[in-house]
Amino acid sequence: MADAKGIYILAELDEGLKPTSLTLELMGLGQRLASDLATDLNAVLLGSGAQAAAQELARYGTGEVLLLDEPALSGYHPEIYIEVLAGLLRSRPPLVLLAGHTSMGQDLLPRLAFALDCGLVSDCVGLRVEGEEVLFTRPVYGGNALATQRVETPTAMATVRARVGDAPSPAGTAAAVIPLEVSPPAQTRLEMKGKEVLSGRECPLEEAPVVVSGGRGMGGEEGFGQLREIAALMGGAVGASRPPVDSGWAASTCQVGITGKVVAPDIYIAVAISGSTQHLSGMSESGKIVAINKDPDAYIFKVSDYGVVGEWKQLLPSFTAALKELPKV
Amino acid sequence: MGLNIIVCAKQVPDPEGPPSSFEINEAELKVTARGIPPVINPFDENALEAAMRIKESHEQVSITLISMGKGISKAVILKAVAVGADASLLVEGDSLDASLLDSFATARLLAAAVARAGGYDLVLCGRQAADTNAGLVGLGLAQLLGIPAITLAQKVDVAGDGVVVERVLPDGYEVVEAPLPALVTVSGEVGDLRYPSLQAIKAAKAIPQTVLGLADLDLDPSTLGRVRTVALAAPSRERRCKMVEGETPEEAGRNLVLALRQDKVI
Ligand SMILES: Cc1cc2nc3c(=O)[nH]c(=O)nc-3n(C[C@H](O)[C@H](O)[C@H](O)COP(=O)(O)OP(=O)(O)OC[C@H]3O[C@@H](n4cnc5c(N)ncnc54)[C@H](O)[C@@H]3O)c2cc1C
């Protein structure tokens, strides 16, 4: 293998073939790491019909955008993606490869790390350069502790959570987009048989400025109707802790926490949620946290900015009514 | 011909224990659990449950439970075996302490253990462990065994020579198939592990168990790691909470809106 060099960002596109906000955040992080390590930043984009996205990415402080554009790369297929990426990284081994801790990142990066025998730190919430190397911070024990880790192979890989980096503002001039030859494998062992989309985008949680979540104390599906009304009034989305999802009161796509979605809205309202470490891992970076809980000693109050002690059934109707009456600012 | 399923299950301190029970030793880079019992990693329990469902709906299914670690609790393993395993394989040793091994070393050691467990058609792992939360071992194990892997299963079934998986996506799920032998990592959506009866727990003592040590695997864990922890700290999450009250709950609900408006939060 050649000498490891440069920071590479593995870009992801949304359904409209635009770079995701997490991808742009990674560009910001990558810029910082590249400048601290005195190396360059490059973006890698796999997709189909991704020319325009590559041009857009090229405005976010990258040295170049390596574009692997090919119909076989239109959706994520683990074996095709890994073959194509492993080939690229073998010929151009980076010092650091960053990907989002997304559905794809969680599946692809471990495969890549084991295929190339590179160390990987998953689910990073912090990255910094110390001396000549990058240190990665991630939650362990369900978020009860934070471990800082170093990678002992020439190439370090990491998956990074949303809102760890800040997206840079786009520059007027764009870096070069370098289209690369792609030869996808002729055969794969995995067969993708199609997707089933649930709940018709009812919970675009990660993007919502306000998240109103219910917990086990909601006691059933009905209460979630009230949460939905509040979310609608505030321009937000409905979330849940794990028990309501397990009980079928809320869609599994609504789960917030270490094994659900990681959100950091301006306002997070936790109703009848006790504040387990696993739940906090998914929302503790929110702007303002508001808790409603009947137990004055519930841990959630310790990590909230506003709290009301009481039964949600008695509190939510007047809360909702007052929201409706609130004069616009 | 029957179907051999291996379920990899790790013992962890009960992840639902209160935060105060996780004592952080910054000098030794270790987290010590105080006053909470060891349990099987909940996602590994989901993997065992997935195996049990396959066993119920197919003929001649045999389940082998593999667990590796330091000081594995016999009672915890016995209870898991009693649910419906046909054999168990433990790999024990002081140098197999979870805090000493990274995911890369763990996957290599497990691959060697799987090779000692006899043949397999399907390997099931939890999607991630509740202590390291890394989610790497299952995929690494598949890579080392040279078999296809599917992650985040909410449903696993065997059909003909292949495995059919519903894989959890952020907005739903997708169906993925792979030829056997294959590895699948299992998510919580599969459902909780059933309880064994007291009778089954008693009978489980007679289920064949192999205990190996590190020497049997012929690997040196100290050379297998790729990631090293250099610092450990407690998260700082606590905030100053403004408690909003009222003469009645109704008033408190209204006052909350007023407080948020006053502070320009809304
Ligand atoms: C490996 C693993 C991963 C996990 N991942 C996640 C995850 O991603 N997300 C997640 O959320 N959890 C997760 N969990 C579960 C987590 O440990 C907790 O069990 C869960 O978060 C608790 O949810 P809760 O706060 O809604 O319920 P509880 O802890 O039961 O709390 C319910 C709260 O509601 C209050 N309450 C009850 N009735 C009322 C009422 N009428 N009015 C007002 N308040 C009321 C109670 O005082 C209590 O504080 C995970 C667990 C494990 C082991």
Percentage of residues in chain B with pLDDT exceeding 70?
Answer: 100
With a 6 Å cutoff on the Cβ, whether A295 touches ligand 1 is: yes
With a 6 A CB cut-off, is A226 part of the ligand 1 pocket? no
pLDDT digits (tens, 9 = 90+) for A245-303: 999 999 988 999 998 998 999 999 999 999 999 999 999 999 999 999 999 999 999 99
Residue B47: give its domain's CATH number.
3.40.50.620
Q: How many C-beta atoms surround the C-beta of residue B239 within 10 A?
A: 15
Residue A202: its pLDDT value, please? 56
Mean pLDDT of B70-88: 96
The reply to whether B241 and B172 lie within a common domain is no
For residue B103, which residues of chain A lie inside 8 Å, CB to CB?
Answer: 120
3-state secondary structure chain A: CCCCCCEEEECCECCCCCECHHHHHHHHHHHHHHHHCCCCEEEEEEECCCHHHHHHHCCCCCCEEEEEECHHHCCCCHHHHHHHHHHHHHHCCCCEEEEECCHHHHHHHHHHHHHHCCEEEEEECEEEEECCEEEEEEEEHHHCEEEEEEECCCCEEEEECCCCCCCCCCCCCCCEEEECCCCCCCCCCCEEEEEEECHHHCCCHHHCCEEEEECHHHCCCHHHHHHHHHHHHHCCEEEECHHHHHCCCCCHHHEECCCCECCCCCEEEEECCCCCHHHHCCCCCCCEEEEEECCCCCHHHHHCCEEEECCHHHHHHHHHHHHHHCCCC
Q: How confident is the model at residue B82 (pLDDT cuts 50, 70, 90)?
A: very high
**A264 at the B interface (CB within 8 A)?**
no
Axis crossing angle, helix B137-145 with helix B103-116, rounded to the nearest 10:
50
Which of A254, A279, A292 to mutate to test ligand 1, by most ligand atoms within 8 A of the CB atom? Answer: A279
Architecture of the domain whose range is A7-179: 3-Layer(aba) Sandwich (3.40)
Nearest atom in ligand 1 to the alpha carbon of residue B15 is 53
Q: Please tell me the distance between residue A214's alpha carbon and the centre of ligand 1 in angstroms.
A: 9
pLDDT at B128 > cutoff 50: yes
Closest residue to atom 26 of ligand 1, CA basis:
A215
Residue A29 CA, distance from chain mean position: 14
Note whether A276 contacts B: Cβ–Cβ < 8 A: yes
Q: How far is B210 from chain A (nearest CA, A)?
A: 28
Taking all residues of chain B, what is their mean pLDDT, rounded to a whole number? Answer: 95
Per the rule left: phi > 0, alpha: psi between -120 and 50, beta: everything else, A258 is: alpha
Residue A246 touches chain B, beta carbons under 8 Å: yes
Global pTM reads 0.92
Query: Residues B202, B244: one domain?
Result: no
Helical (H) or strand (E) element with B166: strand B162-169
Would you state the pLDDT for residue B179? 98
8 Å CB contact of B175 and A196: yes
Q: What is the distance between the alpha carbons of residues A122 and A132, in angstroms, rounded to a whole number?
A: 21
> Is A119's Cβ below 8 Å from some Cβ in B?
yes
- A102, A153, A266: residue with CB nearest B226: A153
Q: What value does the mean pLDDT take over residues B37-52?
A: 97
User: What is the mean predicted confidence (pLDDT) over A204-230?
Assistant: 94
pLDDT band, residue B236 (cuts 50/70/90): confident
B25/B118 same-domain check? yes
pLDDT band of residue A18 (cuts 50, 70, 90) is very high
* Pair B148, B117 in one domain: yes
pLDDT for B19 equals 87
In three-state secondary structure terms, B249 is helix
d(CA B169, CA A249): 19
| Domain region containing B243 | 237-266
In chain A, which residues fall in CATH 3.40.50.620? Answer: 7-179
Cα A242 to ligand 1 centroid, rounded to whole Å: 6
**Beta carbon of B69 within 6 Å of any ligand 1 atom:** no
CATH topology of domain A210-325: Rossmann fold (3.40.50)
Residue B135 maps to a domain: yes
pLDDT for res A203: 54
Residue among A205, A241, A283 whose CB has most ligand 1 atoms within 8 A, to mutate: A241
Q: What does the pLDDT read at residue A61?
A: 87
Does residue B45 lie in a domain region? yes
Report which ligand 1 atom has the smallest distance to the Cα of A274.
Answer: 49
What confidence tier does B154 reach under pLDDT thresholds 50, 70, 90? very high
List pLDDT tens digits, range A72-100. 999 999 999 999 999 999 999 999 999 99
Claim to verify: residue B41 and residue B84 sit in the same structural domain: yes
Count CA atoms closer than 13 A to A206's CA, side-chain side: 16
pLDDT in tens, A163-201: 899 999 999 889 999 999 999 999 999 999 999 987 654
Q: What is the pLDDT of residue A199?
A: 63
- For chain B, counts of helices (H) and of strands (E): 7, 15
Between the CA of B68 and the centroid of ligand 1 the distance, in Å, is: 30
Lookup: tokens for A159: 């998956």
Q: Rounded to whole angstroms, what are the CA distances from B8 to B61, B126, B127, B178, B243? A: 16, 8, 11, 19, 46
Considering only CB atoms, which chain A residues are within 8 Å of B257?
319, 322-323, 326
Indicate if B124 and B77 belong to the same structural domain: yes
Is the pLDDT at B233 greater than 70? The verdict is yes
| Cα A204 to Cα B249: distance, rounded to the nearest angstrom | 31
Of all residues in chain A, the percent with pLDDT exceeding 90 is 89
B232 is a domain residue = no
Based on the domain organization, do B54 and B146 belong to the same domain?
A: yes
3-class state of residue B91 by DSSP = strand
| 3-state SS assignment for residue B149 | strand
Does residue B228 form part of some domain?
no
Residue A149 and residue B230: Cβ atoms within 8 Å? yes
Distance B184 CA to ligand 1 centre (A): 28
List, for residues B174-219, the tens digit of each pLDDT value. 999 999 999 999 999 999 999 999 999 999 999 999 999 999 999 9
CA atoms in the 13 A half-sphere facing the CB of A233: 21
Residue A43: pLDDT band (50, 70, 90) is: very high
Among A82, A96, A114, most B C-beta atoms within 10 A, so best to mutate, is A114
Look at residue B47 in the predicted model and tell me its pLDDT: 98
In this complex, do B233 and A189 lie within 8 Å of one another by their Cβ atoms?
no
Same domain, B144 and B260: no
Cβ within 8 Å, pair B239-A303? yes
Number of domains present in the structure of chain B: 2
CA angle B203, B206, B211 (to 5 degrees): 130
pLDDT of residue A206: 84
> What's residue A201's pLDDT?
47
Q: Mark whether B133 and B98 lie in a shared domain.
A: yes
Whether residue B193 is found in the same domain as residue B243: no
Q: Which residues contact A83 (CB under 8 A, 6 or more apart)?
A: A184, A185
Domain co-membership, B132 together with B247: no
Task: Please tell me the distance in Å from A176's CA to the nearest CA on chain B.
Answer: 33
**Separation CA A261–CA A161 (nearest Å):** 10
DSSP one-letter code for B95: G
Classified as helix, coil or strand, B75 is helix
Q: What is the pLDDT, as a whole number, of residue B223?
A: 92
Instruction: State whether B123 and B255 are in the same domain.
Output: no
Chain A residue with minimal CA distance to B246? A308
Pocket-testing residue among A144, A211, A278, A293, ligand 1, by greatest number of atoms within 8 A of Cβ: A278
Tally of CA atoms within 13 A in the half-sphere of A274 that contains its CB: 13
Q: Which tens digits make up the pLDDT trace of A52-78?
A: 999 999 999 889 999 999 999 999 999
Domain with CATH 3.40.50.1220 in chain A: 210-325
Tokens of B83: 């649910």
d(CA B19, CA A143): 9
Average pLDDT over residues B153-158: 98
- The answer on pLDDT for B100 being more than 70 is yes
The CA–CA distances, whole Å, from A124 to A119, A198, B227 equal: 13, 28, 13
In this structure, what is the dihedral angle of CA atoms B33, B38, B39, B40, given to the nearest 10 degrees?
A: 90
Q: Chain A window 151-170: which residues touch B at a Cβ cutoff of 8 Å?
A: 151-153
